Amino acid sequence: MTGFEASQAFLQWLEQERRASPLTVEAYGTDLAGFLGFLTDHLGSEPDMAALAALRPADFRAWLASMANDNAVNATRARHLSAVRSFFKYLARRHGVDNPSVKLVATPRGRRPLPRALPPDDARDVTTDIAELQDTAAMQARDTALFTLLYGCGLRIAEALSLNVRDAPGLGGDAPLRVIGKGSKERIVPVLPVVRAAIGAWLMRHPDRQPDSPLFLGARGKRLDPAVAQRTMRAYRRLNGLPEHATPHALRHSFATHLLAGGADLRSIQDLLGHASLSTTQRYTAVDEAQLMAVWRKAHPRA
């Protein structure tokens, strides 16, 4: 059996036994055709089952390198490698062609997209103007408190909506906010006076101020659903001409980006955001550099 014949049997198995969608089968077929075409050139002839079983890690890496030379990004190469791995699993189970080399090849890592923050004026406008989308004074106070908290403290939307009344910072003093983040890790976040005031105004209208009650309630009296906050922000950005990346999470990115631009050090921002690794926080330095270059290109007469 040739490699091409084996790939056709594999695609038929995907379609008939695994019930894969036609688009999935087509994508796998395209990926495998590219792989087998490379092997034909690389080995000097169309590979048969013995040739597939004898492939070394260097052969797979040469295939990935050839795609990189054709300007395939890491995400594309990772998808192709995943298809080839599935193909070899099928060969091992159905045809006894067990080649462990494909498992030894590292998956190309795609670049994580840079955080996309809002300009400071736009971020501040969200906190003051988004309440206008609500009809009642109570819901206006709630949304002002929520979005002021997101930008003022850099919380994830899930972290903010998991707070209870007992967690709300008081109007007086400077007690920080205790937040339970990813991995159930607790962190301490300082609270700006404007955030305290917004939350205090919402608590004055809160229908159930028992300590264990959710801090942010929906219209039906239950904990506010993140989808509601997302929908509110989506409506706001469309009314105000903001880009599509203007989401509740963009306020967290804005918090970090604006702190960095104001001179805050990365270690402090890492603690405030609750990042387990400093490398995650370092992505914001790339954002700051990109903004600096954009200003330079726009302003310098020789740029």
Residue ranges and CATH numbers for the domains of the chain are 3-104 (1.10.150.130), 120-299 (1.10.443.10)
Confidence check: pLDDT of 170 > 80: no
Query: For 47-65, what is the mean pLDDT?
Result: 95
Tokens of 298: 């726009």
Query: Own/partner pairs for 171-174, CB < 8 Å, 24+ apart?
Result: 171/196, 171/197, 171/200
Query: For 141-168, what is the mean pLDDT?
Result: 95
The separation between CA 249 and the C-alpha centre of its own chain, rounded to angstroms, equals 10
Residues annotated catalytic, as ranges: 156, 182, 249, 252, 275, 284
Cβ neighbours around 127 below 10 Å, total? 22
Q: How confident is the model at residue 171 (pLDDT cuts 50, 70, 90)?
A: low
* Cα four-point dihedral sign 186, 187, 188, 190: negative
pLDDT digits (tens, 9 = 90+) for 209-256: 999 999 999 988 999 999 999 999 999 999 999 999 999 999 999 999
Tokens of 10: 């594999």
CA distance 298 to 303: 7
Q: Model-level pTM?
A: 0.63
Tell me whether residue 120 is exposed, middle or buried, using C-beta atoms within 10 angstroms of its C-beta: 0 to 12, 13 to 18, 19 or more: middle
* Cα four-point dihedral sign 249, 251, 256, 260: positive
pLDDT digits (tens, 9 = 90+) for 203-221: 999 999 999 999 999 988 9
